[in-house]
Amino acid sequence: MSSKLRFINKEKSTFYATTRSRVEDYLKEKGISRNANPAMWRKIAFYLTVFAGLYALILSNQFGPWTMFGMTLLLGVFSALVGFNVCHDAIHGSLSPNSKVNKVFSFVFNLVGASPYVWNLTHNVVHHTYTNIPGHDEDIEVAPGLIRVAPGEKVNKLQRFQHVYAFGLYSLSSLSWVLRKDYIKFFQKQIGAQDTTNHPKAEYYKLFAYKALYYVLFIVLPLVVLDITWWQFIIGFLGLHLAEGLVMGLVFQLAHVVEGTEFPEPNEQGNMEEAWADHQMRTTANFAMKNKLAGFLLGGLNQQIEHHLFPKVCHIHYPGISKIVKETAHEFGLPYIESPTFSQALGSHYRMLKKLGWQAYKEQELAYADEILAEKQLAVN
């Protein structure tokens, strides 16, 4: 079980204070609110309209099976994009200065099959605090025993091929989220270092009630309304979640598991010997920052560095503050990890999987062989 750890700013780094001051000055000089602007609200309207429109068109039962299947796959993609562009900011409280507005848009997360309450615990509280720290950040525990992303973990035979099968497993993430992950996390005694034994009573009701709502909307209603067989429904349901899961899995992995990112371990006292913000710069990465389409689709998740430092700032403002963050990081001798394109980030992630799987297993076997040889030589002597 993980124990709580602290970040000890041994070097007395002022990186975060300096960066925050400069970002606040920038926003003030430009007259920019840290929350959503008109362009952001138009984005929200677009994603929610397409999401609801696709769902309504599918349930209209006016299309052939292949057309409906195509719309179902697209609905899966937009389910992920709604999570990125609407729910993520809302749950962080960065959409609006009004908490009630954020709560309304956080509720949408239930309609893509995930619990906003559980996400707040696992992501906002734990992941953002203990980023990439094995045993504390459960976001890097994608599929324990199957996918190895932390160098400190022991590698097994199967993981030699993780660079081949990992992307298929990512596709299962949405299905897992809808059917098991939220329940497991909710009833764990601890998530990372966070005690989770004291949930508000209302959250027990919400977890099951909103999951039931999702099952009615995406399982019961389609089976009742649509003129399809049970096996056609299963294909469509799986297709929706495989599409959603692949999009989610790829985007989340490219932010923290690429070449250059670190997976630091606590010291003997169980603490991290650096400032929290400095730690974020070593464990987080950006990609495709100059690609406007990526910025529109990914809800700022391609600018994870800015997001981790300023989660209360709406992602629509990340392009404007990224130059400040990058220049300040270099000024303080800190890394600013970025891949110019999505494909380059994907290639970097692939190489990391191979390094932590195939190459690590070969090194482990060589070390074991050397150990056996040394023991034999010692016995002879």
Question: What mean pLDDT, rounded, does the chain reach?
Answer: 93
**pLDDT at residue 191, rounded to an integer:** 87
Whole-number pLDDT of residue 97: 96
Residue 1 has pLDDT above 70, yes or no: no
Mean pLDDT calculated for residue range 349-363: 91
Structural domain count of the chain = 1
Q: Give a yes or no: residue 168 inside a domain.
A: yes
What is each CA distance from 310 to 19, 22, 92, 98, 326, in whole angstroms?
10, 12, 10, 18, 14
In a domain, 5, yes or no: no
The structure's pTM equals: 0.91
Q: In Å, how far from its chain's centre is CA 177?
A: 12
More confident residue, 321 or 152: 321
| Mean pLDDT along residues 126-141 | 90
Contact of 280 with 231, CB cutoff 8 Å:
no
The mean pLDDT of 80-102, rounded to a whole number, is 97
pLDDT in tens, 265-306: 999 888 999 999 999 999 999 999 999 999 999 999 999 999
134 domain residue, yes or no: yes
Averaged pLDDT, 247-262: 93
Q: For position 151, what pLDDT does the model report? A: 86
- The proportion of the chain whose per-residue pLDDT surpasses 70, expressed as a percent, equals 97
pLDDT in tens, 198-220: 999 999 999 999 999 999 999 99
pLDDT per residue as tens digits for the range 23-81: 999 999 999 999 999 999 999 999 999 999 999 999 999 999 999 999 999 999 999 99
Answer for the pair 259, 353: CB distance below 8 angstroms, yes or no. Answer: no
Indicate the SS3 state at residue 303. strand
Better pLDDT: 381 or 217: 217
Give the pLDDT band (50/70/90) at residue 197. confident
- pLDDT higher than threshold 90 for residue 324: yes
pLDDT for position 3? 60
Question: What pLDDT is attached to residue 2?
Answer: 47
pLDDT band of residue 320 (cuts 50, 70, 90) is very high
Residue 175 within any structural domain of the chain: yes
Asked whether residue 321 is assigned to any structural domain, the reply reads no
Dump strand ranges (E) for the chain. Answer: 190-191, 194-195, 285-287, 337-339
Distance in angstroms (rounded) separating the CA atoms of residues 248 and 83: 9
Percent of the chain with pLDDT over 90: 82
Phi, psi of 53 (to 5 degrees): -65, -45
The answer to whether residue 319 sits within a structural domain is: no
Cα dist from 358 to 123, 253, 346, whole Å:
30, 19, 18
376 inside domain:
no
Contact 338, 259 (CB under 8 A): no
The answer, yes or no, to whether residue 319 has pLDDT greater than 80, is yes
Containing domain of residue 215, as a range? 36-269+340-360
- Residue 172 pLDDT greater than 80, yes or no: yes
70 part of a folded domain: yes
